Chains A and B, each alone.
Chain A
Amino acid sequence: MKKNLLVIAASLISAAQVLGGSITVKGSDTMVVLAQKWAETYMQKNPGTKIQVTGGGTGTGFAALQNGQTDLATASRPIKAKETENCIKAFGKRPTEFKVALDGITLYVHPANPVTQLTIEELEGIYTGKIKNWKEIGGPDLAITVYSRENSSGTYEFFKEHVLKGKDFAASAQTQQGTAGVVQAVMKDKGGIGYGGVGYATGVNRLKIAKIKGGTYYEPSEEAVLAETYPIWRYLYIYVNPAINSGEISTFLKWVRGEEGQKQVSEASYYPLPATLRSQ
């Protein structure tokens, strides 16, 4: 009985619904602020278009892309084979991938910590729990407190695969919800170290990182990330069903990867795409 009522209600409401020229964007919570900046600026320039942005997580975005709930899926990691498969099963094609921004992962330490640079190997040692004291890596005699992100976050997964080479975080690692939590914890902890996006690093020191022992240490700056000399960075993506990548959606995607869209990227504290990856 309830179901019948629902069907009646549903058909009434859907009949009254207006379908405008709108674009829906869904996915990574990391990218919501950035996507919203794009949407706002684009809508100001093109008042005819409505862009709706929702988060929910990268996985949620792909699930929505697959069953047509969203036009564009934002992602802080590349699509997984399983997700591509699901898309092919749902709409017969692989989703088209667009790199839309770069994100440098920054290491934070307490401002009073004299250590200013580390190698990837040392980081791995710290985060897997092999290195337990700052003096082992040329710092003061002070125990290291390791701060990490929530294990559902894309940043966590990236750090685990690219810095720890798939190894597990030390059991003593303190998990914080959100990068801001990490920064705040490090700010108050003289022996603390944490990782996260570059835009968050207020009140803490940022470490220079070298790929290998004896290599050059680089600041996580725009130049170093673009030149791929700073070793820990990742792309941010947008995925779209190729069948609907035309008209308004295609225009929006070009704009995002063009000069104006990339200006918003810098404002949101990510790094803009190198010229080769931009749309012409």
Chain B
Amino acid sequence: MSASPRPEASRSLSRTGIDWGSSLGTAVSLAATVFILLILFVILGNVVIHGLPQLSWRFVSTIPKKDFFDKDSAAVLPMIVGTSIRVLVMTVFVIPIGVTTAVYLTEYARSNSWYTRVIRAAISNLAGVPSIVFGLFGAGFFVHLIGGGIDDIIGATSPKWGKPALLWASLTLAVMTLPVVIVATEESLRAITPGLREASLALGATKLQTILRIVLPNALPGILTGGILAVSRAAGEVAPILFTGAAYYLADLPRSLNDQFMDLGYHTYILASQAPNIEKARPILYGTVFVLLLLTFSLNAVAIFARARIRRQMRSGH
């Protein structure tokens, strides 16, 4: 691909007056940008306009009884609880593993060794695996192999762990969001100037001490950003939990990690596709979507602006 300018560019040199081609090009690309932002605002605006009026204390604080397609008994407390717990449990697993991997990649690995290359390839592939495939994997690996294995070990007569459950859904999501945490952490580890590490080593600290006391505390904002991004990505995912733990309906809140759970995203799908009367279910659907968006979006917004700040610091740091 040659990077030499095309003839038109040089021709315009001799032209005087307004450069219509350039103005038009700029205008079109600006219009595309505005259009994309418009899509964002239309979706958000639509959900807020129709969803906000549906919100009531009862809606978010009770368990739906009898019929969740019915306006009077529809409520989302168990879904909020289910979604929250599953992302929390996921975080407990994904943050330590993701951060450790990022530490290995930035502090220990040599960037050109084959092992590092394979890890990087694995991470980027993991990021691209379709979410429904994670669902199949979670059902086969976590639910049947590990869950079933635990049942064998504890000698359960009926499945206690070898069935879809909160824990398995969380672990499936942890595998899925691993790349998010690794990439964000790595970015923040790299933003720390080598001088800091050198100073620590010069004072006699070992490498491990330097990582634990100097590098990681300095990278904390980035690690948090990664965690938040992972959580916001996972909170809205439905496909990976279809076969690993989400329930259509439960009369109770989950009480242990081997219970199934109701989920905001899955519930949105049910309301959108299975309602006996679409018109009647529409406001409930909007209300549920609003709550889901509120959850994922507040997390996302925090992560994006935190990352923007870190990047700015990084730039000024060099």
Interface of A with B (CB < 8 Å)? 3, 6-7, 9-11, 13-14, 16-17, 29, 32-33, 36-37, 39-40, 43, 50-56, 64, 67-69, 177-181, 183-184, 199-200, 202
B113 at the interface (CB under 8 A from A): no
- Residues of chain A lying within 8 A (CB to CB) of residue B154: 10-11, 14
- Residues of chain A lying within 8 A (CB to CB) of residue B146: 3, 6
**Closest Cβ of chain B: how far from A142's Cβ, in Å?**
24
In the bound complex, do residue A13 and residue B258 qualify as a contact, i.e. CB atoms below 8 Å apart?
yes
Q: CB-CB contacts of B46-80 with A at 8 A, as 1s and 0s?
A: 00000000000000000001110100000000000
B287 at the interface (CB under 8 A from A): no
CB < 8 Å neighbour of B276 from A50, A51, A199: A199
In the bound complex, do residue A69 and residue B249 qualify as a contact, i.e. CB atoms below 8 Å apart?
no
CB < 8 Å neighbour of A67 from B161, B162, B278: B162
- Residues of chain A lying within 8 A (CB to CB) of residue B150: 6-7, 10
In the bound complex, do residue B275 and residue A178 qualify as a contact, i.e. CB atoms below 8 Å apart?
yes
Q: Which of B266-290 contact A (CB under 8 A)?
A: 273-279, 281
Closest A residue, CB atoms, query B64: A36
Closest B residue, CB atoms, query A37: B66
In the bound complex, do residue A68 and residue B149 qualify as a contact, i.e. CB atoms below 8 Å apart?
no
Closest B residue, CB atoms, query A179: B276
In the bound complex, do residue A180 and residue B278 qualify as a contact, i.e. CB atoms below 8 Å apart?
yes
B250 at the interface (CB under 8 A from A): yes
- Residues of chain B lying within 8 A (CB to CB) of residue A6: 146, 150, 167
In the bound complex, do residue B251 and residue A51 qualify as a contact, i.e. CB atoms below 8 Å apart?
yes
List 9 additional A-B contacts (Cβ < 8 Å) besides A52-B250, A54-B260, A180-B276. A11-B154, A13-B256, A14-B258, A17-B255, A37-B67, A54-B248, A56-B248, A178-B274, A180-B278
Closest B residue, CB atoms, query A197: B276
B252 at the interface (CB under 8 A from A): yes
Q: Which of B146-190 contact A (CB under 8 A)?
A: 146, 149-150, 153-154, 156-163, 167
- Residues of chain A lying within 8 A (CB to CB) of residue B281: 180
Closest B residue, CB atoms, query A199: B276
Whole-angstrom CA separation of A177 from B270 in the bound complex? 10
In the bound complex, do residue A181 and residue B278 qualify as a contact, i.e. CB atoms below 8 Å apart?
yes
In the bound complex, do residue B252 and residue A52 qualify as a contact, i.e. CB atoms below 8 Å apart?
yes
**Closest Cβ of chain A: how far from B63's Cβ, in Å?**
11
In the bound complex, do residue B159 and residue A53 qualify as a contact, i.e. CB atoms below 8 Å apart?
no
Whole-angstrom CA separation of A48 from B217 in the bound complex? 53
Whole-angstrom CA separation of A49 from B276 in the bound complex? 29
Chain B at the A interface: mostly helix, strand, loop or mixed? loop
- Residues of chain B lying within 8 A (CB to CB) of residue A17: 255-256, 258
**Closest Cβ of chain B: how far from A58's Cβ, in Å?**
12
- Residues of chain A lying within 8 A (CB to CB) of residue B295: none
Whole-angstrom CA separation of A52 from B69 in the bound complex? 18
**Closest Cβ of chain B: how far from A74's Cβ, in Å?**
11
The 6 closest A-B pairs by CB, nearest first: A55-B248, A68-B158, A177-B273, A54-B247, A10-B150, A178-B274
B306 at the interface (CB under 8 A from A): no
Whole-angstrom CA separation of A280 from B275 in the bound complex? 35
Closest A residue, CB atoms, query B242: A56
In the bound complex, do residue B274 and residue A14 qualify as a contact, i.e. CB atoms below 8 Å apart?
no
CB<8 Å pairs between A and B, sample of 9: A6-B150, A10-B161, A14-B160, A17-B256, A17-B258, A32-B249, A37-B67, A53-B249, A54-B248
Q: Please indicate which of the listed interface residues B150, B154, B260, B276 has the most CB atoms of chain A within 10 Å of its own CB.
A: B276
- Residues of chain A lying within 8 A (CB to CB) of residue B157: 68
B257 at the interface (CB under 8 A from A): yes
In the bound complex, do residue A69 and residue B158 qualify as a contact, i.e. CB atoms below 8 Å apart?
yes
Whole-angstrom CA separation of A14 from B163 in the bound complex? 14
- Residues of chain A lying within 8 A (CB to CB) of residue B273: 177-178, 181
Whole-angstrom CA separation of A39 from B65 in the bound complex? 10
Whole-angstrom CA separation of A50 from B260 in the bound complex? 16
**Closest Cβ of chain B: how far from A220's Cβ, in Å?**
16
Closest A residue, CB atoms, query B257: A13
- Residues of chain A lying within 8 A (CB to CB) of residue B278: 180-181, 183-184
Whole-angstrom CA separation of A11 from B167 in the bound complex? 13
In the bound complex, do residue A180 and residue B275 qualify as a contact, i.e. CB atoms below 8 Å apart?
yes
Closest A residue, CB atoms, query B269: A177
**Closest Cβ of chain A: how far from B61's Cβ, in Å?**
19
Whether A200 touches B276, Cβ cut-off 8 Å, given contacts A6-B150, A10-B154, is yes
Q: Please indicate which of the listed interface residues B149, B153, B156, B161 has the most CB atoms of chain A within 10 Å of its own CB.
A: B161
Whole-angstrom CA separation of A9 from B92 in the bound complex? 13
Closest B residue, CB atoms, query A41: B66
Whole-angstrom CA separation of A52 from B250 in the bound complex? 6
Whole-angstrom CA separation of A130 from B28 in the bound complex? 50
